[in-house]
Structure 1
Amino acid sequence: MGGHGSEPESIDYSVHEAWNEATNVYLLVILVSFALLINKRKIMRIFTLPPTVGSSPEPNFYDSLQKVRLRQQLEMYSLARKFDQQQGQTDSVQLSME
Structure 2
Amino acid sequence: MAAAAGGSAALGDGGAIDYSVHEAWNEATNVYLLAVLASLALLVYARRNKRRILRIFALPPAAAGPPPPPAGFYSGLKKIRLRQQLEMYSIARKYEQQQQQPPKQTESVQLSVE
Range into which the TM-score falls when normalised by the shorter chain = 0.3 to 0.5
TM-score, normalised via structure 2 length: 0.40
The TM-score with structure 1 as length reference comes to: 0.44
Higher helix proportion (structure 1 or 2): 1
